Amino acid sequence: MLKTSIARSAPRTLGGARIAFRPSPFRPVNSYNQRRGYASEAEEKDVVIIGGGVAGYVAAIKAGQEGLKVACIEKRTALGGTCLNVGCIPSKSLLNNSHLYHQIVHDSKSRGIDVGEVKLNVANLMKAKETSVAGLTKGIEYLFKKNNVEWIKGTGTFADEHTLNVELTEGGERSVRAKNIIIATGSEVSPFPGLTIDEKKVVSSTGAIALTEVPKKMLVIGGGIIGLEMGSVWSRLGAEVTVVEFLGQIGGPGMDSEIAKATQRILQKQGIKFKLNTKVLSGDVSDSSISLKVEANKGGKEESLDADVVLSAIGRRPYTQGLGLDKIGLETDKSGRIIIDQEYRTKIPHIRVIGDCTFGPMLAHKAEEEGVAAIEYITKGYGHVNYGVIPSVMYTHPEVAWVGQNEEELKKAGVKYKVGSFPYSANSRAKTNQDSDGMVKFLSDAQTDRILGVHIIGPAAGESIAEAALAMEYGASSEDVARTCHAHPTLAEAVKEAAMAAYSKPIHM
């Protein structure tokens, strides 16, 4: 039996938080039966998707697999959007290789590995990143061809509710009509007031993955995932990194406060400095350096911080510029997100919206799930995305990952819960690998033992969180995980032991 986590009468939830959607009086539209006078019959598509990022290309491939006549409009010269081109993938290349460099320089001797002089080649570091990106974006092109997806290279704008005018990248224009249209235009960097991003001295995440030399000093505005990941890269390579965060903890929304504090302590040991509860007042950019004026949120003495590079990492905002939404009467909320119902439909039922430009966390895997679900709604009338079980990962070292609710959210909701935790310092594989910072933390319902949230800081946390997400998807209890045999010696045993701690008692602590 297929289960749908989004009932038509129920609002979505994100980690326990309810998100209100505009109710839709329209029934699902699976076909456009009333044919109008098309400008060109050859241009008619079952589905046209605006945006070739993670949400858009996944929806396009799924539509092709379902036998639909599909086109994807994308203005970049490569598919994959922000994630593959200037986000998730290139940043992970730099994170992985900078970690290897740091480990060779600082951690090889204790492992019985004597090395000679180690040199950093930033140009080759960037080349390795670009090779990874090129391979993956070409892979999407291959999948488009395999599944009969037409890539229209250009910028699409609504002419009417069924027609898009495309300004082609190579020149000229084209008009395409569709029975169904999916908007998947993603997001863009939120600008910091008073600082102009030039991607050289004042950089966004895009510029932070393309620096040509290691800065002596880097200031990071924003202690969320992007800021900490990029700060980690350049700190490992030799930069003096200071993170300025307005809130009282790092990690951004969703990260459990206990995990956030532990993460900060570990990153501080690695050399990253933090100024929490601090606001940036202004910035002054000169030819030689940048100076930020900051002060404590609750008032205090103004302070100047100098750096060679400033990374602005205060978040992202929906990108819908140039779509011509006003021509068809579509609305956005105060945050710029396009308003939809529980089946991703706007008030025009054959126009759906997925990914970063609408509600929910701006995560690539969330966008992928919506891409599949949107096509299923079009072809089958039902779809599935469980918004309460979408994991988040921060790829620092150690990694930080979580799924479900944190302690603060449970306390606020008045939910009675149990806590079970287990440190990697008691895990045989982590100890053997000399990589034992961190812990696994389970939160389960005090009465039913059903898992409410899992939070991990430690080696390969991003991989281990998948087990927790699968368990939660099937409504498992901490006892279910505790009684499941895990291979020895593995890092995954820490997950089992934390579940045992929530259900009863761990063995190895």
The three-state (H, E, C) secondary structure of 297-360, written as one string: CCCCCCEEEEECEEEECCCEEECCCCCCHHHHCCCECCCCCECCCCCCECCCCCEEECHHHCCC
304-305-306-312 Cα dihedral, nearest 10 degrees: -120
**Residue with tokens 């279910």, as numbered in its chain:** 480
**Cα–chain center distance at 182:** 20
Residues of the chain with CATH 3.50.50.60: 45-189+317-380, 202-314
pLDDT at 287: 82
pLDDT at 300: 79
CATH fold for the domain made of 398-503: Enolase-like; domain 1 (3.30.390)
CATH fold for the domain made of 45-189+317-380: FAD/NAD(P)-binding domain (3.50.50)
- The pLDDT profile of the chain, 509 residues, written as one tens digit per residue, is 333 333 333 334 334 433 434 444 334 444 444 333 334 444 699 999 999 999 999 999 999 999 999 999 999 999 999 999 999 999 999 999 999 999 999 999 999 999 999 999 999 999 999 999 999 999 999 999 999 999 999 999 999 999 999 999 999 999 999 999 999 999 999 999 989 999 999 999 999 999 999 999 999 999 999 999 999 999 999 999 999 999 999 999 899 999 999 999 999 999 999 999 999 999 999 888 899 999 999 887 899 999 999 999 999 999 999 999 999 999 999 999 999 999 999 999 999 999 999 999 999 999 999 999 999 999 999 999 999 999 999 999 999 999 999 999 999 999 999 999 999 999 999 999 999 999 999 999 999 999 999 999 999 999 999 999 999 999 999 999 999 999 999 999 999 999 999 999 999 99
Q: Residues 208, 197: contact at Cβ < 8 Å?
A: no
Q: What's the pTM?
A: 0.90
Annotated binding residues for FAD, as ranges?
A: 92, 156, 185-187, 356, 362-365
What one-character DSSP code corresponds to residue 477?
B
Residues of the chain with CATH 3.30.390.30: 398-503
What 3-state DSSP class applies to 429?
A: helix
462-468-473-479 Cα dihedral, nearest 10 degrees: 180
Q: Residues 499, 481: contact at Cβ < 8 Å?
A: yes
How far, in Å, CA of 361 to CA of 453, rounded? 17
| Cβ count near 34 (within 10 Å) | 5
pLDDT at 458: 98
Strand partners, 188: 317
Annotated binding residues for NAD(+), as ranges?
A: 222-229, 245, 315
Contacts of 474 (CB under 8 A, 6+ apart): none
Q: For residue 2, which amino acid is it?
A: L
Any idea which residues carry the catalytic annotation?
A: 488
Strands 202-203 and 399-404: unpaired
- Which residue, 386, 388, 406, 360, is CA-closest to 15? 388
Q: Report DSSP letters for 383-425, one per residue.
A: ----TTS--EEE-SSSEEEEEE--HHHHHHHT--EEEEEEEGG
CATH code given to domain 202-314: 3.50.50.60
